[in-house]
Amino acid sequence: MPMKRLSMRTIREILRLKTSGMSNRQIAKSCGISRPTVGKYLDRIAGSELTLPQLSNLSDFKLKKLLYPEAVVVTNSKRSVPDWGIIYTELSRKNVTLFLLWEEYRADHENGYQYSWFTEQYRKWAGKLDYVMRQHHKAGEKLFVDYAGHTIPIVNQHTGEITKTQIFVAVLGASNYTYAEATMTQGLQDWIGSHQRAFNFLGGVTEVIVPDNLKSGVNKPHLYEPDINPTYHEFARYYNVAIIPARVRKPKDKAKAEVGVQIVERWILAALRNHTFFSLSELNQAINKLLVRLNNRPFKKLPGCREGMFVTLDRPSLKPLPLAPYVYAEWKKVRVHMDYHVAINAHYYSVPHALVKKELDARITEHTVECFYKNERVSSHLRSLHKSGHTTLREHMPKAHQYYDDWTPERFIKWAEKTGPATAKTITTILYSRKHPQQGYRSCLGILRLGKSYGDERLEAACSRALLLGTHRYKSIESILKNNLDSKTIPESQEMNLPEDHENIRGPSYYN
């Protein structure tokens, strides 16, 4: 049983009292310790072949070394100590446990150490590693993503304008293999594009992505149920990967990403601080070169480097990339107007007329616009960049051009006649100048509602002025009212009559 350690003050008191001739029992009572403890210390002192006065004159360091000599570790040459660096690496493989590695160690060394010694010594070794390195992540399991706090400027050669680029960083959990690139913004499209390029760089897909609570990826941060952006969620489904954001106020969740960002800032961004870049591609080429050097830098406390551990651990465990690249799409909520169209970027797209007043989910890509109701697609159109234009499918229309109870062209015209003849003419012109009258309902409703804000008399005057100027657009009439131009007259000679005969105009008789 190991001897109880006493303070140096108590030990020197034992020496003083023994020198004065006191018994062990008296010394024990005076020092508040047991008599056997006093006897053990005096026995150890007696073995030093030094007198009590000589012992009293020793420094604390020499006296402690005399009383507590370092234990001599007797190693059995037949016992082999494991390579803890290899044990650490193997633990990152899927389904590998410390007990399994100990069993394999004992299978190779019959006289090897017991499991308790094995685990204790490994934990002591691992305790000397940095915190982030001590975190165990299974191979191919997690990709940590974030943006660096520092930026790199790009200079426009023609104007001299400086744009600060954002630095995206992705780090694999098991191997710490790192990817970095510059983007113009932290917006959703750049965020998704950086993920795609990161997976292409890795040559495969992880099981999980761990982002910080960035607005591009997480709409509403929450400790237990964060709200993932719909586009980010669709991207995750396409790549068959789970999104698990770092929890709010849980720094351990994102430690891997934060350290990865620090390393990128130290070994890449700092190295480029005195360089001037004139394009994003030029900057990313410079980052790629330094990225190769970073991933091949040897670890300080582990064998190998990021590149080597990636090839050994993560790469074999990654899932294959999809056959086709993900097509970026944005999602937004839209409300179906009374004319069974939805507005997306100032263009109007038709949906089945039965969905009037319903809220739909619109999926918008570079070339298409799709609408979904209760997760079922109800319409699909080629995307149009024509402002204020309409894209209408005949099958979305109700029979006889009626789409919602009593809303008909005749009803709009009668409503306008209550305001005045100029208003009625404006509404009639809008309705029969469209390929489908329903396409003009939105404009007509907007114009007629101006009467509630400005009064029917002013609306009639504004429509009269608009007709004289040859326009029937809602914005023109609204501008006339806002600028109080409805009270000013225009000579009739300046009236610009609208055409009565045109291939796209049916005329008022169409509705009779």
Q: What is the pLDDT of residues 169-186, one digit of tens each?
A: 999 988 889 999 999 998
Of residues 101 and 151, more confidence is placed in 151
pLDDT reading at 336 higher than 80: yes
| Same domain assignment for residues 397 and 413 | no
Same domain membership, residue 239 and residue 110: no
Structural tokens at position 346: 């100032």
Do residues 288 and 166 both lie within one domain? yes
Q: Indicate the pTM of the whole model.
A: 0.56
Q: Does residue 114 share a domain with residue 30?
A: no
pLDDT at 378: 95
Structure confidence by residue, pLDDT tens digits, 105-152:
777 777 777 778 777 777 777 666 554 444 567 888 889 999 998 999
Residue 137 domain-assigned (yes or no): no
Q: Are residues 94 and 59 in the same domain?
A: no
Gyration radius (Cα) of the chain, Å: 40
Query: What confidence category does residue 344 fall into, taking pLDDT thresholds of 50, 70 and 90?
Result: very high
In a domain, 78, yes or no: no
Question: Which of these three, 375, 401, 427, is where a domain ends?
Answer: 401
CATH number at residue 14: 1.10.10
- For residue 257, give its domain range: 142-317
Contact (Cβ atoms closer than 8 angstroms) between residue 310 and residue 172: yes
- Domain boundary among the residues 128, 162, 180 is at 128
Q: Are residues 423 and 394 in the same domain?
A: no
Whether residue 325 is contained in a domain is answered as: no
**377/360 same-domain check:** yes
What pLDDT does 406 receive?
A: 55
Comparing 50-54, 166-170, 423-427, which segment has the lowest mean pLDDT?
50-54
351 within a domain of the structure (yes/no): yes
Task: Say if residue 298 is in the same domain as residue 150.
Answer: yes
Q: Are residues 484 and 396 in the same domain?
A: no
Both 363 and 465 in a single domain? no
| CB-side neighbour CA atoms (13 Å) of 181 | 21
CB 213 within 8 A of CB 246: yes
Asked, for residue 217, whether it belongs to a domain, the answer is: yes
- Asked if residue 136 belongs to a domain, the reply is no
Q: How confident is the model at residue 218 (pLDDT cuts 50, 70, 90)?
A: low
Tell me, yes or no, whether 272 lies in a domain.
yes
Burial pattern 311-349, b for ≥16 Cβ within 10 A else e, equals: ebbbbebbeeeeeeebebbbbeebebbbbbbbebeebbb
- Statement to judge: residues 192 and 297 lie in one domain: yes
Q: Would you place residue 18 in the very low, low, confident or very high pLDDT band (cuts 50, 70, 90)?
A: confident
| Those residues with Cβ within 8 angstroms of residue 249's Cβ, 6 or more apart along the chain or in another chain | 223
486 and 414 in a common domain? yes
**Residue where a domain terminates, one of 365, 382, 401:** 401
More confident residue, 190 or 11: 190
55 in a structural domain: yes
CB-based contact 174:313 (threshold 8 Å): yes
The string of pLDDT tens digits covering residues 316-326 is 989 999 999 89
With bands split at pLDDT 50, 70 and 90, how would you rate the model's confidence at 506? very low
How many domains does one find in the chain? 5
Q: Work out the pLDDT band at 63, boundaries 50, 70, 90.
A: confident
